[in-house]
Amino acid sequence: MIDFKEQIAEGLARETGLEKNELLLKIETPPDKKMGDYAFPTFTLAKTMRKNPAIIAQELKEKLEGMEGIEQIVVAGPYLNFFIDTKTLAENVLKAVVEEGDRFGASNLGEGKTVIVEYSSPNIAKPFHIGHIRTTIIGDSIKRIYKHLGYKVEAINHLGDYGTQFGMMIEAYKRWGDDEVIEKNAIPELVKLYVRINKEAEEDQELLDNSREWFRKLESGDEEAVSLWQWFRDLSLKEFERVYNMLDVEFDSFRGESYYSELMMKAVDEIKEKGLLVEDQGAQIINLDKYNLPPSIIIKSDGSTIYLTRDIATAIFRKEHYDFYKNIYVVGSQQNLHFQQLKAILKEMGYDWADDCIHVPFGMVSLPEGTLSTRKGKVVYLEDVLNRAVDKVEDILKEREETSGMKMDNRDELAHQVGIGAVKFQELFNQRIKDYVFDWDRTLSFDGETGPYVQYTHARMNSLLEKGGFDVSRPVDASLLTSKEEKELLQKLYGFNQVIVDSHEKYEPYFVTRYITDCAKIFNKYYTNTPILVDDDALKQARLLLVYGVKNMIRIGLDLLGIEAPDKM
């Protein structure tokens, strides 16, 4: 596609003799399109050219007039404002729409680079609760966005499947566990056992001693201990998989913390050899004063390692195994300090790739009081929230069937697509660092800035295309698209790739969410004001191709968020 900005920079470079890339950085996008599509501040040249900026602007305008793809250049004080030519824009954009199809907005920016996106990472034998929704959905979207830009992505679920608590789990199971009960309702039952042993251990030292012994056995590969642990892990994973299937979230690896337990000692030895460990009250710590961070414990006084030690081993393994370009951790902001320490330690160890380890934090999600009855106690299971969303949409659709008297043949599937999509959309609508309260009414509404609204707009475009007998292979006259909304939509199509690039740079899927929501709004306005299926066939074809392009972009945008785009709603 034509690159208008590049074009302008080239022209400016030719006339001023300055570096094109330098000029490129100075070209701005005015907040108001009335001021032009691009602006160049000439005062940045005043010093080198020893001239008044307004005069420079005037002279450059005269020299640049008639430039390809630019309709008009306007001098506004020390600014040169460029208005792009709508016909050039339309021709370029529509050509890309036809040629790129599913790859619209894509690029090969990441070619040859492997990126790790680590997300979700629940702890086994613990509930997969509402708090996990954020890492799971944000992480999955980041993965999709990187893929669209040509990166090779490894999606890793860093399961919490290691730690002394598994000694307690085994001891509790051996005392009170009942296989049949556990098989039926694994996680709540395992949680019950864990809560019970913690409580009873307060009074009973033997429980603690036995648990410690079980953990020791587990670490040394004792058959019974390992097979019980494996069983807890399998049961948990089976429950997690059910939620991942609902969410259409997939991983390339489930290597969890336990995987690195073997590599941990190697990492600890390396830290020792590099002279970084000091003893502190029996524990082995690393001093991180230099980074303005509190010291990190590497080995506790009882000789056991901790969460952080495992993350050090993990990062080193990942570099060796994947030679990542970036190693991205999608983990809540409560763990900011943990990841700062991890990076600092890797730096101390002399790894120049430490800065390629990136913590992508996010704020908290909470549910309004009393909106959900839970299976057990205070924990809100994510699966229950998702089912509830689907049920609510199902109710809305049933009501619709009753009022319209029309039966849908895919009501269940649609309820799933819209319900799950709505939850994801709300999750990805704001800057990730912001806390938010789960709001059922807003999430599931078909109006306003919601998933159902965008999905509905997409379906609306689809039926319009069907009704108009749209055929993508027919050539169109792009110069017929001249209205304000047509220009806006063309600009949106033109800018789609850049938004995806920005969103990947900042690890912010909400850029995409907002963008496609805007497109849906502009389209709906357009559709209200402009007849599409007009008698003039050439005009009709041009408008339909535009609609097709926008529909395609919205579908791809939804896909980058992990949201489905039903054809009919």
Q: Does 160 bind ligand ARG (CB under 6 A)?
A: yes
Near ligand ARG by CB under 6 A, which window of 55-63, 117-125, 293-301, 443-451? 117-125
Give yes or no for a contact between 517 and 550, defined as CB atoms under 8 angstroms apart: no
One of 158, 416, 540, 555 touching ligand ARG (CB under 6 A) = 158
Minimum CB distance to ligand ARG, residue 26 (Å): 41
Q: Give the number of other CB atoms < 10 A from CB of residue 384.
A: 16
Q: Give the number of other CB atoms < 10 A from CB of residue 138.
A: 26
One of 107, 123, 340, 483 touching ligand ARG (CB under 6 A) = 123
Q: Does 331 bind ligand ARG (CB under 6 A)?
A: yes
Q: Does 42 bind ligand ARG (CB under 6 A)?
A: no
* C-alpha–C-alpha distance, residues 538 and 552, integer Å: 21
- Pick the closer one to ligand ARG by CB: 78 or 361: 361
Near ligand ARG by CB under 6 A, which window of 115-123, 195-203, 223-231, 506-514? 115-123
Q: Which residues share a beta bridge with 80? A: 40, 75
* Segment holding 390, helix H or strand E: helix 382-404
* C-alpha–C-alpha distance, residues 413 and 390, integer Å: 10
Separation of CA 104 from chain center: 19
Clarify whether 126 is annotated catalytic.
yes
* Total length of the chain: 569
Clarify whether 506 is annotated catalytic.
no
Minimum CB distance to ligand ARG, residue 135 (Å): 8
State the binding string over 469-488 for ligand ARG (x if CB under 6 A, else -). --------------------
What residues contact residue 193 under an 8 Å CB cut-off, 6+ apart? 169, 172, 173, 176, 177
Which one from 129, 143, 158, 359 is the annotated catalytic residue? 129
- Pick the closer one to ligand ARG by CB: 78 or 160: 160
Residue type, 310: R
Phi, psi of 151 (to 5 degrees): -75, 155
Minimum CB distance to ligand ARG, residue 160 (Å): 3
Q: Which residues share a beta bridge with 154? A: 116
* C-alpha–C-alpha distance, residues 235 and 214, integer Å: 20
Q: Does 360 bind ligand ARG (CB under 6 A)?
A: no
Residues numbered 301-320 forming contacts with ligand ARG, rule: CB under 6 A: 311
One of 42, 81, 86, 121 touching ligand ARG (CB under 6 A) = 121
Residue that has been written with the tokens 């496609």 in this structure:
516
- Pick the closer one to ligand ARG by CB: 234 or 401: 234
Q: Does 340 bind ligand ARG (CB under 6 A)?
A: no
Give yes or no for a contact between 363 and 436, defined as CB atoms under 8 angstroms apart: yes
Minimum CB distance to ligand ARG, residue 262 (Å): 17
Name the residue number minimizing CB distance to ligand ARG: 160
DSSP-derived 3-state class of residue 411: helix
Which one from 5, 132, 319, 551 is the annotated catalytic residue? 132
Phi, psi of 166 (to 5 degrees): -75, -25
Side-chain-facing half-sphere of 503: CA atoms under 13 Å:
36
- Pick the closer one to ligand ARG by CB: 60 or 331: 331
- Pick the closer one to ligand ARG by CB: 135 or 284: 135
Site size with ligand ARG, rule: CB under 6 A: 9
Q: Where are the beta strands (DSSP E) in 142-238?
A: 152-156
Which one from 113, 126, 152, 525 is the annotated catalytic residue? 126
The answer for 476, left when phi > 0, alpha when psi is -120 to 50, beta otherwise, is beta
- Pick the closer one to ligand ARG by CB: 123 or 445: 123
Binding site for ligand ARG (CB under 6 A): 118, 121-123, 158, 160, 311, 329, 331
Active site residues: 126, 129, 132
